[in-house]
Amino acid sequence: MSSVFIIEDEHQIRELATRALADAGHVVWSESTAMAGLQGVIENAPDVVVLDLGLPDLDGSELLRMLRAVSDVPVIIATARDDESEIIRLLDAGADEYVVKPYSGSQLEARIRALLRRTEAAGSANTLEIGGVKIDLRGRVAELDGQRIDLNRKEFDLLTFLVARAGEVVSRSEIYAEVWRQPYGGGDKTIDVHLSWLRRKLGETAAEPRYLHTVRGVGVKIVDPR
């Protein structure tokens, strides 16, 4: 059994989705505005959020951005805009799945089940470690020598990706594809900036690397410095 938070302003859709999900054994909460929804998600910490994009007080994509600043809860966007580029943009912005309206209750429930399976599979390997770096994947917390490191979302994803591939040189385009889910435009400094932040948080510099080693013209790898 899992808990689902529906943010949807159309009464009928909200009722239909709530009933279908409750019948399938989920605990369901709902709100009809973005701001009440945001507060509800923070207070209830649901397993999944279903987010309508057309809300009366705020565009759903804006709410997604706000949600992502405070929570890693899996989000399914519900959209009547069957616009591929818009859907891709939202998946890049942190949505995990989408349904196109009008959707049926069983379709929504199937998406939720699939999403929870993926989330659980990702959480089944609970920790990753290299040297003094320990990553709790479920709690999205990283430690260095027993001290918690304060990482933003992308730094955490980047560190996790590198540690999962420890000892291997990973190219910038792979990092872009896997962590940013975007094609790499050469010359872009995003990765370098994040790497340098990560270095600082791991207590090292590019000149005196311990964990993070840049291989010029190829990519970067993380190693156990001990």
Question: Which of 151, 148, 153, 123 is CA-nearest to residue 133?
Answer: 148
Region from 44-52, 65-73, 154-162, 212-220 binding Ca ion, contact rule CB under 5 A: 44-52
- In the shown chain, the binding pattern of residues 1 to 40 toward Ca ion, with x for contact by CB under 5 A and - for none, equals --------x-------------------------------
CB of 78 to Ca ion, least distance (A): 8
Structure tokens at 114: 């699939």
Structure tokens at 83: 């616009």
CB of 97 to Ca ion, least distance (A): 18
Torsion angle, alpha carbons of 22, 68, 176, 212, to 10: -120
Region from 50-58, 71-79, 128-136, 180-188 binding Ca ion, contact rule CB under 5 A: 50-58
CB of 8 to Ca ion, least distance (A): 6
105 binds Ca ion (CB under 5 A): no
**Entry field: residues in the chain:** 226
80 vs 177 by CB, closer to Ca ion: 80
CB of 52 to Ca ion, least distance (A): 4
d(CA 127, CA 113): 24
d(CA 19, CA 105): 8
CB of 39 to Ca ion, least distance (A): 18
CB of 54 to Ca ion, least distance (A): 4
59 vs 192 by CB, closer to Ca ion: 59
Phi, psi for residue 49 in degrees, rounded to 5: -115, 135
Q: Which of 31, 47, 52, 157 binds Ca ion (CB under 5 A)?
A: 52
Residue 61: CA atoms inside 13 Å, Cβ hemisphere, count? 10
Residue nearest to Ca ion (CB): 54
For 176-179, the CB contacts below 8 A with 24+ separation are 179/154
Contact 77, 68 (CB under 8 A): no
54 binds Ca ion (CB under 5 A): yes
Residues engaged in binding Ca ion (CB under 5 A): 9, 52, 54
